[in-house]
Amino acid sequence: MLAHRAAYNPARMDLAEFLPRIPKGDLWVFGYGSLMWAPHFRYEERTVARLWGMHRALCIRSARYRGTPQRPGLVLGLCAGGSCWGVAFRVAARAVPRVLHTLWEREMPRRVYRPGFVRVRLPRGRKVPALTFIADPHHAGFAGELDLRSRAQLVAQGIGERGRCTDYVRNTLEHMYALGVTDPHLERVLETAEAIRASASSSRAR
Query: Hey, how many other C-beta atoms are within 10 angstroms of the C-beta on 38?
Result: 12
DSSP state of 142: B
Taking only the tens place, the pLDDT of each residue in 9-29 is 544 568 888 888 888 999 999
Catalytic residues: 107
Give the tens place of pLDDT for each residue, 135-156. Answer: 999 999 999 889 999 999 999 9
The answer to whether 117 and 4 are in contact (CB under 8 A) is: yes
The pLDDT score that the predictor gives to residue 115 is: 93
What Å distances lie between residue 9 and 12, 82, 139, 201, CA to CA?
Answer: 6, 24, 10, 43
**pLDDT computed for residue 106 by the predictor:** 93
pLDDT at residue 2 above 70?
A: no
Judged against a pLDDT cut of 60, whether residue 35 lies above it is answered with yes
Share of the chain above pLDDT 90, in %: 82
Whole-number pLDDT of residue 119: 97
* DSSP assignment letter at 200: H
DSSP state of 21: G
Band (pLDDT 50/70/90 cuts) for residue 1 is very low
**Can you tell me the distance from the alpha carbon of 31 to that of 86, in angstroms, rounded to the nearest whole number?**
6
Structural domains in the chain plus CATH codes? 10-145 (3.10.490.10)
| Stated pTM of the model | 0.89
Of 74, 77, 75, the residue nearest 86 (C-alpha): 77
